[in-house]
Structure 1
Amino acid sequence: MQHSQSLKIYKFGGASVKDAAAITNLRSIVSKHGADGPLLIVVSAMGKTTNALEEIFQLAYAGQDYAALLLQLADFHRAVAQELLSATNEDAASATASNDPSLEQLVEQLGDRLATLTTGEFDKQYDQVVSFGELLATRIVASALGAQWLDCRPLLRTDHAWREGRVDWPTTERNLTTAVPPLLANGPVVTQGFLGGTASGHTTTLGREGSDYTAAIFAYCLGAESVTIWKDVAGLLNADPKIFEDTVRYPEISYQETIEMAYYGASVIHPKTIKPLAVRQIPLYVKSFVDPTAEGTKIHDCRHGLLVPAFIRKTNQCLISFESKDLTFISEENLEVIFGALAQVRLKINLMQNSAISFSVCTDFSAYRLDKLLTALREQFTIHYNTDLELYTIKNYDAASLQRLTTSRELLLEQRTRQTFQFVCRSNA
């Protein structure tokens, strides 16, 4: 596919749309940096909205009262919209298509979803509710920009893998290349990250923090010139500055190196983002919405020397160990059963290790999924597990970086390759 020589895709995450002031800053960025050609803007839910919707959903699913939290969420979005409206040219704000749902209509639809939840199909119903974070945010951002609002769910086709929708690439590319270019000809388009839809019209989500991936999907299908992810950091750093001191920015970095860092849990980029961009050689820029003129990081097909060590931490981890009840060796047959059960309950393995009579995995902790796993395997295996753990990864490690992270920590499991060192330990929190 030939690249569109002018189409740019901007992705703004939750921190960049957390309130009216943040959205005003977004509008300034778009005005100053994105006005030289077609622009597609992918937007996440505002601030901690996804967390709030998860809490509301959990209460509703359990048959408990969620009304106060729902009202609080709705009032927050109304207040942001009203503050922006008072500072925005009302004619521009009304330029969005008349058949787009209003903020109040979306709030009403969310209430209806919650009121009709049933027992069973937890993950499917989760997607139908939590997706409203992106729908509400994009409604507000589109109005603030006077841009066109696009519902991506009928276009970005996935299967029925709720909460981790797998993209039907041929159908999605056909849908997007048909529907989006005519809209772009009329000005900027605002659409949702994180969301997709099935052929039957149900909403799916692409995995937490999946808005980056959405931007890459649009870029791949439309042959974009570039993708820019606007973050609250100076670019792609070797560590999260909220956790580690003395972080270093990578001015440029290869697709391959970034894929590995994202796979291990680097929070700046969603793991699935890089592949579709690399296939079509579309550069990805990571820039700061706090300082839009700063250089940032360019991720592309490049060669570089050995990079400074990267430090990655994943919290809320669970270490699960399986032993055969008859104390026989862990065999390929045992592993097949364990892997099958992990896949069935959709627990992603972040690290694994085996010995003669045991097999251990580190996964993200989910009480619901762990309970299903124990139910499936407890008759065949003796299972031990620890929760409230942390998984650290050092990419391109050296002696100093190893000492920096391992000193004074109790390592429950560790693993080393030529370039990567990982260990599981108890949380210091």
Structure 2
Amino acid sequence: MGKTTNALENVFELAYNGKDYAGALGRVKAFHREVAESLAAGAGPYMMADVNEGFRDAFEALEAQLATVSALRDYDEQYDQVVSYGELLASAFVAHVLNDLRPTRWLDCRPLLRTDENWREGLVDWQATEESLRSEVLPRFQEVQTIVTQGFVGGTADGRTTTLGREGSDYTAAILAYCLRAESVTIWKDVAGLLNADPKTFPDTVRYPEISYRETIEMAYYGASVIHPKTLKPLADRNIPLRVKSFLDPAAEGTLIHDCQHPPLAPAFIRKTDQCLLSFSSKDFSFISEENLAVIFGALAQAKLKINVMQNSAISFSVCVDFSERRVHQLLDLLREQFTLHYNTGLTLFTIKNYDAASVARLTEGRRLLLEQRTRGTFQFVCQ
């Protein structure tokens, strides 16, 4: 709810750095208590007791988890154990409210959605996940009409919580659909469907009535915020259509994403902020060879930095990544002995999918471009 994940990230950072997190945690707790009380208002005493008990148990578990956080232990593993509580709380609240209207069951997704130990971006064990979901979820529909579970979270074989990456709830929906052979998936957003740009940044957006899996996968990869980049592949693998609809106007058409052919699309404008441009140069002025690139790619993978754009010249190689101070400094530590490194932060990456001359001119006018790149269908540039 709201910006709970961001708030829990702040609590975790304070705990990890040995600082007082009581005030930050208190604000998270107060917000959820207010929501719990408003949801339970007017409901029967049974629901009130359920909500209050679930609220108390969740925060006792969260406080116990925070008490174990230490800078001496793996940062990303501990992050997953703490930040996952936002989804657990929100899903429990929704399940209690729905159960007051129709038979509903809350389901803890962590023992069922099996991942490896790639903390903060768990890789799904598809066979184990499909077996557990089909055996645990399908029989429950004989008892209830609705099942409420969490997005974004999973679990390892030994019971530790993992997360699937920020904004990973859409991906969870696709995993569930794939494993349960769903007829379709609907994702509810605060926009009219899949648009060619973020309406908060571009006022004259266009809605795509229908669009293919392939086009949507590319838009999501470049940073379109409506859909998580990993969502489309499992749906495409089983030809499960995805509908993007607006909870502000549920009767509106929205967008249908499926296996289809369509005429050329309006250019899509995608903006990613808080970018970092890293440049690596060989110290002896030798060429950036395949061997050098292998070292750089290995270090980027070790630091868990994903490349959004890359470009090379004879003696230098540049990449644009989402900025994380901790991960960038880890990368610099890994590579500074072999390369001369420079980086700029606070940058913006723009991508125009299906660009034309007018769309490029519109977006680049008056901007200082630090890097630009174009292919047949995509134009990208990094600017201040």
Instruction: State the TM-score, normalized to the length of structure 1.
Output: 0.86
**1:227-248: per-residue Cα shift (whole Å, max 9, x none)?**
1110000000000000111000
Contact 1:322 1:384 in 2 (8 A): yes
Give the Cα–Cα distance (whole angstroms) in 1 for the partners of residues 193 and 45 of structure 2: 35
Give the Cα–Cα distance (whole angstroms) in 2 for the partners of residues 105 and 290 of structure 1: 33
Give the Cα–Cα distance (whole angstroms) in 1 for the partners of residues 113 and 49 of structure 2: 26
**Equivalent in 291, 294, 305 of residue 263 of structure 2:** 305
- The aligned counterpart of 1:174 is 131
**Equivalent in 52, 67, 89 of residue 136 of structure 1:** 89
- The aligned counterpart of 2:247 is 289
What residue identity is the alignment partner of 2:196? Answer: N
- Quickly say closer, same or farther: Cα 1:94–1:191, change in 2 above 3 A: farther
Contact 1:234 1:249 in 2 (8 A): yes
Q: Does 1:164 align with 2:121?
A: yes
- The aligned counterpart of 1:122 is 75
- The aligned counterpart of 2:223 is 265
**Equivalent in 164, 169, 177 of residue 219 of structure 1:** 177
What residue identity is the alignment partner of 1:110? Answer: L
Q: Does 1:343 align with 2:301?
A: yes
Task: Using the TM superposition, give the Cα deviation of residue 392 of structure 1 relative to its aligned residue in structure 2, in angstroms.
Answer: 0.3
Q: Does 1:327 align with 2:285?
A: yes
Q: Does 1:47 align with 2:5?
A: no
Instruction: State the TM-score, normalized to the length of structure 2.
Output: 0.96
Q: Does 1:79 align with 2:39?
A: no
Give the Cα–Cα distance (whole angstroms) in 2 for the partners of residues 318 and 127 of structure 1: 24
Q: SS in structure 2 opposite 1:360?
A: strand
- Quickly say closer, same or farther: Cα 1:129–1:277, change in 2 above 3 A: same
Task: Using the TM superposition, give the Cα deviation of residue 287 of structure 1 relative to its aligned residue in structure 2, in angstroms.
Answer: 0.4
Contact 1:155 1:175 in 2 (8 A): yes
For 1:12-411, list aligned pairs within 5 A: 46-88=1-43, 102-119=54-71, 120-146=73-99, 147-185=104-142, 186-411=144-369
Query: Unaligned stretches of 5+ in structure 2?
Result: none
Q: Which has the higher contact order (CA 8 A, sep 6+)?
A: 1
Contact 1:92 1:145 in 2 (8 A): no
**Equivalent in 397, 407, 412 of residue 370 of structure 2:** 412
- The aligned counterpart of 2:383 is 425
Give the Cα–Cα distance (whole angstroms) in 2 for the partners of residues 118 and 92 of structure 1: 37
Q: Could you list the runs of 4 or more consecutive aligned residues of structure 1 that deviate by over 2 angstroms after TM superposition?
A: 87-96
Contact 2:287 2:315 in 1 (8 A): yes
Task: Using the TM superposition, give the Cα deviation of residue 160 of structure 1 relative to its aligned residue in structure 2, in angstroms.
Answer: 0.2
- Quickly say closer, same or farther: Cα 1:344–1:178, change in 2 above 3 A: same
What residue identity is the alignment partner of 2:124? Answer: V
Give the Cα–Cα distance (whole angstroms) in 1 for the partners of residues 177 and 346 of structure 2: 38
Task: Using the TM superposition, give the Cα deviation of residue 385 of structure 1 relative to its aligned residue in structure 2, in angstroms.
Answer: 0.3
Contact 2:371 2:381 in 1 (8 A): yes
Give the Cα–Cα distance (whole angstroms) in 2 for the partners of residues 247 and 259 of structure 1: 19
Identity %: 68
**1:78-105: per-residue Cα shift (whole Å, max 9, x none)?**
1111111114455577799xxx971110
What residue identity is the alignment partner of 1:78? Answer: R
Q: SS in structure 1 opposite 2:207?
A: coil
What is the CA RMSD across the aligned residues, in angstroms?
A: 1.4
Q: Which moved more, 1:167-176 or 1:85-94?
A: 85-94
Task: Using the TM superposition, give the Cα deviation of residue 184 of structure 1 relative to its aligned residue in structure 2, in angstroms.
Answer: 2.1
Contact 1:324 1:357 in 2 (8 A): yes
Contact 1:321 1:384 in 2 (8 A): yes
Give the Cα–Cα distance (whole angstroms) in 2 for the partners of residues 75 and 376 of structure 1: 42
- Quickly say closer, same or farther: Cα 1:266–1:237, change in 2 above 3 A: same
In the comparison of the two structures, how many residue pairs are matched? 378
- Quickly say closer, same or farther: Cα 1:373–1:92, change in 2 above 3 A: same
Contact 1:312 1:393 in 2 (8 A): yes
Q: SS in structure 2 opposite 1:141?
A: helix
Q: SS in structure 2 opposite 1:359?
A: strand
Q: SS in structure 2 opposite 1:307?
A: coil
Task: Using the TM superposition, give the Cα deviation of residue 212 of structure 1 relative to its aligned residue in structure 2, in angstroms.
Answer: 0.2
Q: SS in structure 2 opposite 1:192?
A: coil
Give the Cα–Cα distance (whole angstroms) in 1 for the partners of residues 269 and 48 of structure 2: 43
Task: Using the TM superposition, give the Cα deviation of residue 251 of structure 1 relative to its aligned residue in structure 2, in angstroms.
Answer: 0.4
Contact 1:264 1:312 in 2 (8 A): yes
Contact 1:93 1:144 in 2 (8 A): no
- Quickly say closer, same or farther: Cα 1:419–1:93, change in 2 above 3 A: farther
Q: SS in structure 1 opposite 2:341?
A: strand
- The aligned counterpart of 1:5 is none
Query: Unaligned stretches of 5+ in structure 1?
Result: 1-45
Q: SS in structure 2 opposite 1:361?
A: strand
Q: SS in structure 2 opposite 1:139?
A: helix
Contact 1:352 1:359 in 2 (8 A): yes
Give the Cα–Cα distance (whole angstroms) in 1 for the partners of residues 274 and 65 of structure 2: 29
Contact 1:93 1:145 in 2 (8 A): no
Task: Using the TM superposition, give the Cα deviation of residue 72 of structure 1 relative to its aligned residue in structure 2, in angstroms.
Answer: 1.2
